């Protein structure tokens, strides 16, 4: 074992090198700041080319400065000593000295891959792999792996017991941290998978799926920056809580150009952070909703006129309900509802002209008839009333009153009642956001009006030159411009959510992260079919992560027992870290539940340095909010969460309130409970007025 004095000498030696790297980092930052300043100083440039050059200079320099600042904390984290005698330092970004010689290799570069891929069985020319533990720019420790002892010099020092175990024991805070220094081989294989097609990353809780996927996004931006930065990378997660948790990971890896959206924020202009109760959520997420929304978007709305009469010379021209219904079908056969708006006056006018028979009427001919018709305010008013432009959010708002009429038997009475109740809220839920998106695409956009001829009436223009308008119309609303889409907790996406996310990645490559055993969606086969349709036959590259790094073996043992009883075919990982702390269970009288939960939360706050979560069923949330209010105010480390909001998160300690009620909340209750049990890294306590979950077999 290495002596403390020898370890300190190694730390001092590494600090000297790290100081050199930071000097060069600061010099690069100074250059970037100077370029920004110079760019702004060019504000007086009057010609267009000069302005473009100035803006490009400021943009590129600012982006470089942002990347340098983001990588500052823990910049240098790895060192390789090779059998050839060479030495390589690995970091969050690449750094060169004044002579352009490499001081630090970007972790994504091919030369750094051996840092993650080398093992004792296959050292790949690596004698010693060292992880530098840093606080800011200060080296506070080193951890070594001796991979090829036969090639090691006699004086080579090997320090520590392993960086991975050290990182697993640290306290958790409010955000996820990069694991770039401790990525394992099976994780690195997934990170560096081919960029084309869909990379599917599976594995049980705590295996690092999320952080591996985020490192993969950073890797893709490094290896094919032009493609992925120009096209954009979209990261979709389950909740706003989750997105806040992961938001620091990519900037810490030198990437600041990625779009992060929770499922409630995918659609521009619509934002939600609340879930519906399970029955309504399942109905809204079902594929059945597509047919319902299609009818809503195409059928006449209550109050729209069902007849039109126009007196022209000696003729009475009439469009009755049957004829109008036929014209509606004709228009919708040619285009989506809003894209048909410019054609409506032409179609109605033509249907009226076909009824003109009188001799006086025919004297002015078709052109005269059309000119008179479009100047008649009554005709214009009828057009606007019969075929008004429709807004997706407003259409969604009409569902509460119209769902029974447009459902056509798609939902049971219980589901209809739950849907109507959920739509009493004025703003959409997370489960409503895909419905708004579906309506956007069903309705389409109204094409831009083109008026090259000055005073020609807009209605006349819209049908006389419809073909030219179609060719020159504005681009479709389809939001398919992303080059890469990353979906985390993918097992929870409903079919409607898959349709929404799929539209953002029609031409993209994908990274999909999930674990079927943790799914909260009650009909997995339906969601799987929607996933396949979203990917449109893209080739898949599958990876399974097998080791649980998050939970202590004692905590994961309890969670795995629940999974074996309740979740057929659960993908159970291997626990590698023991703490000697067994999960605790407290059974208390119903009247004392909230007090017991508060007392246990206070106890755990005193036992761990990091974060503590209280997870409660929805029915208990309000009561626990009142009971815990003083503790929540006094301790930023404490969180009160619903079960679904814990997806993807981790805490040093967790208190689960009333597990049996949590299990009974939905059809996916056992799988959700399994997720909750696997959020704790060190300590876990369940508090309930009953304990059926410990012994009863699931129904």
* Strand partners for 575: 548
Distances from the Cα of 28 to the Cαs of 96, 98, 257, 529, in angstroms? 9, 10, 20, 50
Q: Say what the pLDDT of residue 173 is.
A: 52
Coil/strand/helix, residue 184: coil
- The length of the chain is 699
Cβ–Cβ under 8 Å, residues 585 and 600 = no
What number is the average pLDDT over the span 622-642?
Answer: 95
d(CA 542, CA 322): 55
Q: Does 172 reside within a domain?
A: no
More confident of the two residues 6 and 504: 504
Cβ–Cβ under 8 Å, residues 369 and 379 = no
Query: Which of 58-72, 171-185, 598-612 is the most confident on average?
Result: 598-612
Coil/strand/helix, residue 598: helix
171-175, 195-199, 502-506, 509-513: segment of lowest average pLDDT: 171-175
- For the chain, helix, strand, coil in percent to 5 are 50, 15, 35
C-alpha closest to that of 482 among 669, 279, 221, 299 = 221
* Strand partners for 684: 654
**Which residue has tokens 């080193």?**
142
53-57, 362-366, 448-452: segment of lowest average pLDDT: 448-452
| Among candidate residues 472, 492, 523, the one where a domain is terminated | 472
CB neighbour list of residue 502: distance below 8 Å, 6 or more residues apart: 530, 533, 534, 535, 536
Phi, psi dihedral angles at 112 (to 5 degrees): -95, -10
For residues 417 and 351, membership in a common domain is answered with yes
For residues 223 and 297, membership in a common domain is answered with no
pLDDT band at 453, cuts 50/70/90? very low
Cβ–Cβ under 8 Å, residues 266 and 437 = yes
d(CA 485, CA 479): 12
Q: Say what the pLDDT of residue 17 is.
A: 95
Q: Does 625 reside within a domain?
A: yes
Q: Say what the pLDDT of residue 40 is.
A: 64
Coil/strand/helix, residue 470: helix
486, pLDDT greater than 50: yes
CB neighbour list of residue 238: distance below 8 Å, 6 or more residues apart: 262, 263, 488, 489, 492, 644, 647, 648
| Among candidate residues 499, 523, 548, the one where a domain is terminated | 548
pLDDT in tens, 288-299: 999 999 999 999
Q: Does 643 reside within a domain?
A: yes
Cβ–Cβ under 8 Å, residues 275 and 242 = no
Counting Cα atoms < 13 Å in the Cβ hemisphere of 172 gives 25
Q: Does 171 reside within a domain?
A: no
Phi, psi dihedral angles at 635 (to 5 degrees): -130, 110
**Domains: count for the chain:** 4
Q: Say what the pLDDT of residue 230 is.
A: 85
What number is the average pLDDT over the span 180-191?
Answer: 83
Q: Say what the pLDDT of residue 255 is.
A: 75
Cβ–Cβ under 8 Å, residues 305 and 385 = yes
CATH number assigned to the domain comprising residue 494: 3.40.50.300
For residues 663 and 607, membership in a common domain is answered with yes
- The DSSP line for 533-546 is HHHTT--EEEEEE-
For residues 199 and 286, membership in a common domain is answered with no
pLDDT band at 477, cuts 50/70/90? low
d(CA 474, CA 459): 18
Q: Say what the pLDDT of residue 253 is.
A: 72
* Strand partners for 78: 90, 131
Mean pLDDT over the full length of the chain: 86
For residues 580 and 672, membership in a common domain is answered with yes
What number is the average pLDDT over the span 529-550?
Answer: 93
Tokens at residue 1, please? 């074992």
Q: Does 166 reside within a domain?
A: no
Q: Does 167 reside within a domain?
A: no
Phi, psi dihedral angles at 495 (to 5 degrees): -55, -40
For residues 592 and 661, membership in a common domain is answered with yes
| Among candidate residues 548, 583, 604, the one where a domain is terminated | 548
480, pLDDT greater than 70: no
Tokens at residue 455, please? 């005073």
For residues 651 and 617, membership in a common domain is answered with yes
Q: Say what the pLDDT of residue 427 is.
A: 92
What number is the average pLDDT over the span 579-594?
Answer: 94
* Strand partners for 511: 199, 486
d(CA 445, CA 586): 57
CB neighbour list of residue 303: distance below 8 Å, 6 or more residues apart: none
Q: For helices 321-334 and 344-353, what crossing angle results, to 10°?
A: 140
- The DSSP line for 543-607 is EEE-EE-SS-HHHHHHHHHHHHHHSTT----EE----S---EEEE--GGGHHHHHHHHHHHHHHH
pLDDT in tens, 80-110: 999 999 999 999 889 999 899 999 999 999 9
Alpha helices in 364-465 (DSSP H): 365-374, 377-386, 392-397, 399-407, 413-422, 433-443, 458-464
For residues 286 and 397, membership in a common domain is answered with yes
Q: What angle do CA 260, 261, 266 make, to 5 degrees?
A: 140
Q: Say what the pLDDT of residue 470 is.
A: 43
**Domain hosting residue 86, numbered range:** 4-161
402, pLDDT greater than 60: yes
Cα 690 from chain centre:
36
33, pLDDT greater than 50: yes
**Which residue has tokens 């010689």?**
101
pLDDT in tens, 371-395: 888 889 999 999 999 999 999 999 9
Distances from the Cα of 318 to the Cαs of 332, 354, 372, in angstroms? 21, 11, 16
Return the CA Rg of the chain: 31
Distances from the Cα of 41 to the Cαs of 31, 36, 49, 50, 64, in angstroms? 15, 9, 16, 12, 19
For residues 306 and 342, membership in a common domain is answered with yes
Q: DSSP class of residue 697?
A: P
More confident of the two residues 698 and 513: 513
SS (H, E, C) 117-160: HCCCCCCCCEEEEEEEEEECCEEEEEEEEECCHHHCCCCCCCCC
Cβ–Cβ under 8 Å, residues 497 and 434 = yes
Cβ–Cβ under 8 Å, residues 646 and 672 = no
Query: Which of 247-251, 463-467, 630-634, 668-672 is the most confident on average?
Result: 630-634
For residues 328 and 394, membership in a common domain is answered with yes
For residues 196 and 102, membership in a common domain is answered with no
pLDDT band at 146, cuts 50/70/90? confident
Q: Say what the pLDDT of residue 405 is.
A: 93
What number is the average pLDDT over the span 257-268?
Answer: 91
What number is the average pLDDT over the span 662-685?
Answer: 93
What number is the average pLDDT over the span 405-418?
Answer: 95
67-76, 199-208, 231-240: segment of lowest average pLDDT: 67-76
More confident of the two residues 460 and 172: 172
Phi, psi dihedral angles at 533 (to 5 degrees): -70, -35
What number is the average pLDDT over the span 243-265?
Answer: 81
CB neighbour list of residue 196: distance below 8 Å, 6 or more residues apart: 509, 538, 539
d(CA 543, CA 228): 22
What kind and span of H or E run contains 62?
helix 48-70
162, pLDDT greater than 80: no
Q: Does 656 reside within a domain?
A: yes
304, pLDDT greater than 60: yes
Tokens at residue 296, please? 């809503």
Coil/strand/helix, residue 557: helix
Cα 452 from chain centre:
44
What number is the average pLDDT over the span 192-201?
Answer: 94
Tokens at residue 565, please? 């009883």
Tokens at residue 509, please? 């490559």
Q: Say what the pLDDT of residue 290 is.
A: 97
Q: Say what the pLDDT of residue 53 is.
A: 64
Q: Does 71 reside within a domain?
A: yes
Q: Say what the pLDDT of residue 286 is.
A: 97
539, pLDDT greater than 70: yes
For residues 103 and 156, membership in a common domain is answered with yes
CB neighbour list of residue 239: distance below 8 Å, 6 or more residues apart: 262, 263, 264, 273, 430, 644, 645, 647
């Amino acid at each position: 074992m290495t002596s403390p004095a020898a370890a300190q000498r190694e730390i001092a030696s590494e600090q000297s090198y790290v100081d050199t790297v930071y000097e060069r980092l600061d010099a690069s930052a100074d250059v970037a700041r100077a370029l920004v300043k110079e760019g702004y100083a060019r504000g007086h440039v009057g010609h267009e080319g000069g302005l473009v050059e100035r803006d490009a200079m400021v943009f590129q320099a600012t982006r470089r400065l942002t990347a340098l600042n983001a990588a500052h904390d823990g910049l240098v984290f790895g060192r390789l000593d090779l059998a050839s005698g060479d030495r390589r330092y690995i970091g969050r970004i690449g750094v060169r000295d004044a002579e352009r010689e490499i001081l630090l290799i970007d972790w994504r570069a091919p030369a750094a891959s051996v840092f993650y891929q080398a093992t004792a069985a296959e050292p790949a020319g690596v004698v010693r792999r060292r992880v530098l533990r840093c606080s800011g720019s200060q080296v506070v420790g080193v951890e070594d792996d001796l991979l090829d002892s036969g090639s090691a010099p006699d004086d080579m020092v090997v320090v520590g017991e392993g960086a991975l175990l050290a990182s697993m024991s640290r306290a958790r805070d409010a955000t996820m941290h990069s694991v770039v220094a401790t990525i394992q081989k099976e994780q690195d294989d997934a990170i560096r998978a081919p960029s084309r097609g869909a990379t599917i990353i599976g594995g049980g809780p705590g295996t690092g799926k999320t952080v591996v996927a985020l490192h993969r996004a950073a890797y893709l931006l490094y290896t094919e920056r032009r493609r992925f930065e120009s096209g954009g990378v979209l990261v979709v997660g389950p909740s706003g809580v989750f997105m806040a948790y992961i938001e620091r990971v990519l900037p810490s890896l030198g990437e600041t150009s990625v779009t992060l959206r929770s499922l409630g924020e995918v659609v521009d202009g619509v934002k939600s952070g609340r879930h519906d109760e399970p029955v309504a959520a399942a109905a809204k997420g079902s594929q059945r909703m597509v047919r319902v929304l299609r009818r809503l978007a195409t059928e006449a709305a209550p109050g729209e006129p069902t007849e039109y009469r126009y007196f022209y010379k000696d003729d009475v021209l009439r469009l009755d309900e049957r004829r109008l219904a036929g014209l509606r079908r004709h228009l919708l056969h040619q285009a989506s509802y809003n894209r048909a708006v410019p054609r409506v006056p032409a179609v109605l006018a033509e249907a009226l002209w076909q009824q003109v028979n009188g001799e006086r009427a025919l004297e002015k001919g078709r052109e005269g008839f059309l000119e008179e018709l479009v100047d008649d305010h009554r005709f214009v008013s009828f057009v606007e009333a019969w075929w008004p432009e429709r807004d997706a959010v407003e259409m969604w708002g009409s569902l509460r009153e119209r769902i029974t009429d447009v459902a056509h038997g798609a939902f049971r009475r219980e589901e209809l009642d739950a849907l109507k109740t959920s739509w009493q809220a004025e703003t959409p839920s997370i489960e409503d956001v895909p419905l708004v998106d579906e309506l956007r695409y069903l309705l389409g956009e109204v094409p831009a009006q083109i008026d090259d001829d000055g005073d020609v009436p807009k209605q006349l223009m819209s049908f006389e030159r419809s073909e030219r308008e179609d060719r020159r119309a504005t681009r479709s609303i389809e939001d398919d411009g992303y080059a890469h889409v990353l979906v985390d907790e993918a097992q929870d996406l409903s079919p409607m959510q898959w349709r929404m996310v799929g539209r953002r990645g029609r031409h993209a490559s994908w990274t999909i992260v999930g674990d079927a055993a943790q799914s909260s969606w009650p009909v997995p086969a339906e969601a799987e079919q929607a996933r396949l349709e979203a990917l449109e036959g893209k080739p898949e590259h599958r990876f399974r992560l097998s080791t649980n790094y998050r939970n202590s073996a004692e905590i994961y043992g309890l969670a795995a027992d629940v999974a074996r009883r309740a979740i057929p075919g659960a993908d159970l990982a291997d626990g590698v870290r023991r703490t000697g702390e067994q999960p605790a269970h407290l059974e208390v009288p119903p009247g004392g539940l909230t007090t017991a939960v508060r007392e246990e939360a206070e106890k755990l706050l005193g036992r761990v340095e990091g974060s503590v979560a209280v997870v409660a069923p929805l029915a208990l949330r309000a009561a626990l909010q009142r009971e815990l209010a003083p503790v929540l105010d006094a301790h930023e480390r404490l969180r009160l969460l619903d079960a679904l909001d814990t997806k993807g998160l981790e805490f040093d300690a967790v208190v689960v309130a009333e597990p049996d009620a949590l299990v009974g909340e939905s059809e996916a209750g056992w799988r959700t409970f399994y997720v909750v049990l696997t959020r704790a890294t060190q300590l876990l306590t369940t508090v309930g007025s009953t304990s059926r979950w410990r012994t009863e077999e699931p129904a």
